[in-house]
Chains A and B, each alone.
Chain A
Amino acid sequence: MALDRWIALILLGFCLIYGYTAWLTMDVGLAPFMKRNPIWPSTFPKILSVLGIITSLIILLGVEKSEQKVSDIDYRRLHEYKLGQAILLLCLMVVYALCLRPVGFIFSTSTFLIFGSIILGERKWYFVVPIALVATLFVWYLVQQVLGIYMRPFPGWLGG
Chain B
Amino acid sequence: MLEGILLGLQTAFSIQMLLMVIGGCLIGTFIGMLPGLGPMSIIAIMIPVAISIGDPAAAIILLAGVYYGAIFGGSTSSILLNAPGVAGTVATSFDGYPMAKQGKAGKALTIAAIASFCGGTIGAVLLMIFAPALSSVALLFHSAEYFALMVVGLSAIAAFAGTGQIAKALLMTVFGLMLGTVGEGTMFSLPRFTMGVMDLQSGLSFVTLAMAMFALPEALFLVLNPPKAGSRKAEEIKNLRITREEAKSIAPVIARQSIQGFFIGVLPGAGATIASFLGYAVERNIATKDEQDQFGKGSIKGLAAPETANNAACTGSFVPLLTLGIPGSGTTAILLGALIALNVTPGPRLMIDEPQIFWAVIISMYIGNFVLLVLNLPLIPYIAKILAVPRNYLIPYILFFTLMGAYIGQNNATELLLLVGFGVCATALRFADYPLAPLLIGFILGGMLEDNFARSMQLYDGIAFVGQRPMTMVLLSIAILLILLPSVRSRRAQMRRKGVADGD
The chain A residues found within 8 Å of chain B, CB to CB, are 2-4, 6-8, 11, 14-15, 18, 21, 26, 37-39, 41-45, 48-49, 51-52, 55-56, 58-59, 63-67, 69, 71-75, 78, 81-83, 85-86, 89-90, 93-94, 96-98, 100-101, 109, 112-113, 116-117, 120-122, 127-128, 131, 135, 139, 143, 147-150
Interface residues of B (CB under 8 A from A): 48-49, 52, 163-168, 170-171, 174-175, 177-178, 181, 185, 187-188, 190, 192-193, 220-221, 223-226, 390-393, 395-397, 399-400, 403-404, 407-408, 411, 413, 416-417, 419-420, 423-424, 428-434, 450, 453-454, 457-458, 461-462, 487, 490-491, 494
A-side contacts of B494, CB under 8 Å: 65
A51 to B457, Cβ gap below 8 A? no
**A96 near B396: Cβ-Cβ < 8 Å:** no
Say which residue of B164, B404, B419 sits within 8 Å of A143 (CB atoms).
B404
Which residues of B sit under 8 angstroms from A39, Cβ to Cβ? 187, 453-454, 457-458
A sample of 13 more A-B contacts (CB under 8 A), given A64-B490, A69-B433, is A6-B432, A7-B429, A15-B174, A43-B454, A45-B178, A45-B192, A51-B170, A52-B175, A74-B431, A93-B399, A94-B420, A113-B400, A116-B395
- B188 surroundings in chain A (CB, below 8 A): 41
In the complex, what's the smallest C-beta–C-beta distance from A45 to chain B, in angstroms?
5
Contacts of A89 in B (CB 8 A): 220, 223, 395-396, 399
Cross-interface CB contact of B411 among A52, A58, A94, A149, cutoff 8 Å: A149
On whether the beta carbons of B393 and A122 are closer than 8 Å, the reply is: yes
Q: Which of B413, B424, B462, B487 contacts A64 (CB 8 A)?
A: B487
B178–A81 contact, CB under 8 A?
no
Residues of A within 8 A of B165 (CB): 66
Residue of A whose beta carbon sits closest to that of B450 = A44
Q: Which of A18, A43, A94, A120 contacts B396 (CB 8 A)?
A: A120
In the assembled complex, which residues on chain B have CB atoms less than 8 Å from the CB atom of A4? 168, 432-434
* CB-based contact B171/A120 at 8 Å: no
Distance of A148 Cα from B53 Cα, bound (Å): 10
User: Is B174 a contact of A51 with CB atoms below 8 Å?
Assistant: yes
Using CB atoms, name the residue of chain B closest to A59. Answer: B167
Q: How far is the CB of A109 from chain B (nearest CB, A)?
A: 7
Instruction: Check B403 against A38 for contact (C-beta < 8 Å).
Output: no
A82 touches B164 (CB 8 A): no
Which among B170, B393, B413 is the interface contact of A101 at CB below 8 angstroms?
B413
Shortest distance in angstroms between B322's beta carbon and chain A's nearest beta carbon? 27
Chain A: CB-nearest residue to B461: A38
* CB-contact partner of A48 in B181, B423, B458, under 8 A: B181
Selected contact of A81 from candidates B187, B224, B430, B454, CB within 8 Å? B224
Within the complex, what minimum Cβ distance (angstroms) separates B499 from chain A?
16
Checking A51, A69, A109, A131 against B393 with a beta-carbon cut-off of 8 angstroms, the contacting residue is: A131
The chain A residue with its CB closest to the CB of B415 is A97
B168 A120 Cβ-Cβ under 8 A:
no
In this complex, the member of B165, B175, B430 whose beta carbon has the largest number of chain A beta carbons within 10 angstroms is: B175
The chain A residue with its CB closest to the CB of B408 is: A149
Inter-chain CA distance A18–B404, complex, in Å, is 31
Give the residue of B178, B187, B431 whose beta carbon is less than 8 angstroms from that of A75: B431
Q: Which residue of chain A has the shortest Cβ distance to B181 in the bound complex?
A: A45
The 9 nearest A-B residue pairs measured at CB: A66-B164, A116-B396, A97-B416, A122-B392, A81-B224, A4-B432, A75-B431, A55-B171, A39-B457
